[in-house]
A and B are shown apart, each in its own frame.
Chain A
Amino acid sequence: MGGRSARLSFPACGCLVSSPSYPLAEALRKEGLSRADYDEIVRRLGRAPNRAELGMFGVMWSEHCCYRNSRPLLGQFPTSGPRILVGPGENAGVVDLGEGQHLAFKIESHNHPSAVEPFQGAATGVGGILRDIFTMGARPIALLNALRFGPLEDPRNVGLMEGVVAGIAHYGNCVGVPTVGGEVAFDPSYSGNPLVNAMALGLMETEEIVRSGAAGVGNPVVYVGSTTGRDGMGGASFASAELTEASLDDRPAVQVGDPFLEKGLIEACLEAFKSGDVVAAQDMGAAGLTCSCSEMAAKGGVGVELDLDLVPAREDGMTAYEFLLSESQERMLFVVRQGREQPLMERFRRWGLQAAVVGRVVAENVVRVLQHGEVAAEVPANALADDTPINHHELLAAPPAEIQAHWQWSEAELPPADTTGITPAGQSPLSWSQVLLALLDTPTIASKRWVYRQYDHQVQGNTVMPPGGADAAVVRLRPQQGPGSLLPAQRGVAAVVDCPNRWVALDPQRGAMAAVAEAARNLSCVGAEPLAVTDNLNFPSPDHPTGYWQLAMACRGLSEACAALGTPVTGGNVSLYNETRLPDGRLQPIHPTPVVGMVGLVPDLARVTGQAWRAAGEAIWLLGVPLAGDDDADERLGLAASGYLEWIHGLSTGRPPRTDLALEVAVQALLRQAIAQGVVTAAHDLSDGGLAVAAAECCLASGLGAQLELPAGTARADRLLFAEGGARVLVSVPAAQAQAWQALLEQVPPSGAAGSPPACQRLGQVEAEAVLSIGRGGTTLLVQPLDVLGLAYEQAIPRRLAGGA
């Protein structure tokens, strides 16, 4: 641990050092800093930091602000490409959609606050990610979220889920940005440590992307938005320690959000950016004023002088430390062209917001903080924001023994499976119909209607594919403001969040690759071309060798898959130390959860495909690795690490399938081409629960049945029905398109997909009768009316929530 050798010219340590005027050990613990960090701070300043300055270093050198554990791993991500306008380092990534439209997007976590106060924790997570978007000059057009909770059999998890969903709804609905998609999954490892990742998309409304580097010595620094209070103090150290009774002061550790103020802030900021008076902008998120001042100064190569007496405060008697570290919400800092501050501030006051000149840009590369006419803190900006320390960790040379043991599992260990069903060890016999019903009744697989009906997914009038309708959300690219706002638009943007956390837990590299592949496949299922990724790395402590190994291997998998699929990473968020202390004192780490947020371009909204079958008689085809009638050892798919294995047999084990990236590229290219030509009318990828669950979902979405026939042979029936992996997608093809479909299948695969021509297999057809029927070699494996399947699927979550809807 400790800072790497500094390239910057700071005074040599030792010449000006004086001892601090506060108990050092306690202060370092509170700020989450090590003694080595302190020595480095003293060396950079040439003296001991005062208490406020130490606090500034504490937040700026936290994992949240400077990625001190993960930075060496993030460097391997592909970050550039022809469509990438802004990569990592700014408030959000920006991609070029063509036709003059630019899309800003980013994901961020609010896990620890949501664990303590689910409603406000989740709400302020939404508020924070929206500010990252409109700070760039983009109007937020869509929200998504990835959520993880412990099992709903535990009432604490029910309370967390109800609070988180209500908090997201409260903020997103009020601020007028539709929540169009997301994913929710459950696992015991998330009990007490839920994950709340919020992703936002925005369409640029300004000509130029608004940057965060300060410029123009003498320019005023203007504070806008809400007032500053003592809320959210110490959020950085809070995120890396357990909460105790003692740490729950009379002030909430979690900030309180006000979506009404944020709505006004969006409008006022976009007006201000269009005026041309704003030189630079930075939102105040984690580490508040400290972070915004030092990052604006460091990025601009200038300094900022800030007078705390001018900062609008909501409480009296706040110290410099409190002002600098407050995480009060809905606040922004601007550098404004000199002389233009008055009209700019008027815009904000019209929306009922605070606006005040609080400082100015200075030539010296320093963050100087004044209070009561005295210098309360003075730190070189680059000492805070540049060349921040890195925690070095040893990467295990081989997978941990526990993981290697899991990889030994094979399907041969399962009880025999015949045409009637299976008898899981220690349980009664189950028919395949009963197995399918049990899977549909599993909250991770089941309908998330209880969640998404609480989100306004339609406001702004552009939602073409709402939650539950397709594998990805689709939003029309019609601007809200300006000349294009009243013209019909043919193009759209698709977005998705994905993470197969069970796979990542059993093989972080394969699991992370699968996350990227599934996100891209989901976009391709609506006909969108995948463009770029924002990632949210939710992991346990990297201080444990297994934890760091998981993080390192997942980053490797993400990088490899993003490179192969041509979807660069434009930024994201890292959330570490996600673990809960169990009553017996052991730490329960979460499943490592690298959530992939991906955006894609829909060239023609008229062609968008959903999950629902369109008409009886249409042929049902399987793309990807075909079903093999006889035993095979294809490691690209299987029951290892599957939902079937976990929820039917009670086993979370095995090595998850290997993602065949070349096959993914080929399958997705074929799928998008077929959708663009109108050959395919419905598309749904195979995920948790495999073929049987995917087919059931297409039926339930449409009310139409399906008759499928699986290949005869020696292969286990459960491998055919419930195996996961294999880049698989179910599609429907109307009879009128049969020839065009055949022509597509026979075409030479596009270059880049060489070596893996996409295999396709006809499985059956859509039926008017509302029954799902799956047979094999003349025998029926499974037959269920849709109303029975639908009841299990729709009621799984509500019936587990007390008083559920």
Chain B
Amino acid sequence: MTIGVVVFPGSNCDRDVRWAAEGCLGIPTRFLWHEERSLEGIDAVVLPGGFSYGDYLRCGAIAHVSPMLSEVAAFAARGGPVLGICNGFQILTEMGLLPGALTRNRQLHFLCEAAPLTVHPGACQWLRHYGEGEPISLPIAHGEGCFQADADTLAALEGEGRVVLRYAANPNGSVGDVAGLCNAQGNVLGLMPHPERACDPITGGTDGSRLLASLLS
């Protein structure tokens, strides 16, 4: 099992994902430069948080046309596990792997704090180690995490059980309290909270470890 961590100019949680996966959980990682095209030997892909391309134009808008991400799209289509954290979630919506969009937080401020969440794993393979309705706490750190989707899209997502993470106390105005979404196949997860920041007891809880540990069977 090797996790590929895609690195764009402006990514800043790439090393944090590496620390959580490899340093805390013992899962090997490899950095994938955005201009590369090879996913050889990679079993799962993480799009880390940060400000890819400075968030210029629109969060994730430039990143989603990079060479590496066309490979990641194909990898996801083959059923490969893909996790988009924060900026990575924004990129997944730009790529069309997940619906909706992430916009400026309700109060227009960047927010960095612990967010209480409830997990509804459904068919999401990344969340298979969590119970239905389980309360957990993960840190959030974003300025544009307000999830937006039209009423029909949201209703469809709800109906298909794809709203897999919800805010218990909505911090940013997301419709439906959406904190994380999964694709219909269950292999692509996008979430605004940072599970990689909750894998190390000394820096703030371990509620995120089971998410990354889902890659280990």
Contacts and interface: CB of A to CB of B under 8 A. Distances in A.
B and A form one assembly: yes
Interface of A: 166, 169-170, 173-176, 258-261, 263-264, 351-352, 452-464, 466, 476, 478, 480-481, 485-488, 605-606, 803, 805
Given A264-B9, A485-B19, A258 B54 contact: yes
A456 B141 contact: yes
Contacts of A480: 15
Contacts of A481: 15
A476 B202 contact: yes
B58 interface: no
Q: Please give me the 3 A-B residue pairs with the lowest Cβ-Cβ distance, nearest first.
A: A176-B12, A260-B54, A461-B16
A259 B54 contact: yes
Nearest to B106: A805
Nearest to A605: B202
Given A263-B10, A352-B9, A454-B111, A459 B141 contact: yes
Nearest to A460: B16
Contacts, number: 103
A182 to B, nearest CB: 14
A702 to B, nearest CB: 16
A170 B110 CA distance: 8
A458 B12 contact: no
A458 B141 contact: yes
Contacts of A173: 51, 110, 112, 141, 143
25 contacts: A166-B109, A166-B110, A173-B51, A176-B50, A260-B10, A260-B51, A260-B56, A452-B112, A453-B109, A454-B112, A455-B110, A458-B112, A458-B141, A458-B204, A459-B13, A459-B49, A459-B141, A461-B16, A464-B202, A476-B203, A478-B19, A485-B19, A486-B22, A486-B23, A605-B202
A107 to B, nearest CB: 22
A226 to B, nearest CB: 12
A452 to B, nearest CB: 8
Contacts of B202: 464, 476, 605-606
Given A176-B13, A455-B112, A487-B23, 12 more contacts: A169-B143, A170-B110, A173-B110, A174-B54, A260-B10, A264-B9, A453-B113, A458-B197, A459-B13, A476-B202, A478-B19, A805-B107
Contact of B15 (A170, A174, A460, A803): A460
A244 to B, nearest CB: 32
Given A456-B141, A485-B19, A263 B203 contact: no
Contacts of A457: 112
B9 A456 contact: no
Interface string B43-74: 00000011101111000000000000000000
A37 B141 CA distance: 51
Nearest to A480: B15
Contacts of A486: 18-19, 22-23
A267 to B, nearest CB: 9
Nearest to A803: B107
Contacts of B22: 486
A166 B18 CA distance: 29
A461 B19 contact: yes
Interface in B124-149: 139, 141, 143
A298 to B, nearest CB: 35
A805 B54 contact: no
Contacts of B54: 174, 258-261
A485 B112 contact: no
A487 B23 CA distance: 6
B196 interface: yes
Contacts of A258: 54
A462 B16 CA distance: 9
Nearest to B49: A459
Contacts of B139: 458
B182 to A, nearest CB: 25
A805 B202 CA distance: 29
B193 to A, nearest CB: 12
B191 interface: no
Contact of A485 (B13, B15, B197, B204): B15
Contact of B109 (A260, A454, A460): A454
A461 B200 CA distance: 9
A459 B16 contact: yes
A171 to B, nearest CB: 11
Nearest to A169: B110
Contact of A458 (B18, B23, B53, B203): B203
B203 A259 contact: no
A353 to B, nearest CB: 9
B10 A805 contact: no
Contacts of A463: 203-204
Nearest to B51: A174
B58 to A, nearest CB: 14
B91 interface: no
Interface string B88-118: 0000000000000000000101111100000
Nearest to A267: B9
Given A458-B204, A460-B16, A485-B19, A351 B9 contact: yes
Contacts of B188: none
B20 interface: yes
B202 to A, nearest CB: 6
A453 B171 CA distance: 12
Contacts of B19: 461, 478, 485-486
A260 B107 CA distance: 24
A260 B53 contact: yes
Interface string B1-33: 000000001101101101110110000000000
A488 B12 contact: no
Contacts of B20: 461
A464 B203 contact: yes
Nearest to A450: B109
Contacts of B111: 453-454
A263 B12 contact: yes
B12 A175 contact: yes
B197 A461 contact: yes
A800 to B, nearest CB: 16
Interface in B170-217: 194, 196-197, 200, 202-204
A176 B8 CA distance: 13
B23 A488 contact: yes
A228 to B, nearest CB: 19
A263 B51 CA distance: 10
A639 B53 CA distance: 54
B176 to A, nearest CB: 22
Nearest to B113: A453
Nearest to B199: A461
Nearest to A461: B16
Contacts of A176: 12-13, 50
A545 to B, nearest CB: 44
Contacts of A462: 203
Give the residue among B22, B54, B197 with the most A Cβ atoms within 10 A: B54
Contacts of B50: 174, 176
Contacts of A466: 204
A351 B10 CA distance: 9
B84 to A, nearest CB: 17
A454 B108 CA distance: 10
Give the residue among B10, B112, B113 with the most A Cβ atoms within 10 A: B112
A464 B194 CA distance: 16
Nearest to A174: B51
Nearest to B23: A486
Contacts of A174: 10, 12, 50-51, 54-55
Contacts of B200: 461
A605 B196 CA distance: 20
Nearest to A263: B10
A459 B12 contact: yes
A797 to B, nearest CB: 13
Contacts of A455: 110, 112
A234 to B, nearest CB: 28
Nearest to A481: B15
Contacts of B56: 260
A261 B53 CA distance: 9
A261 B22 CA distance: 28
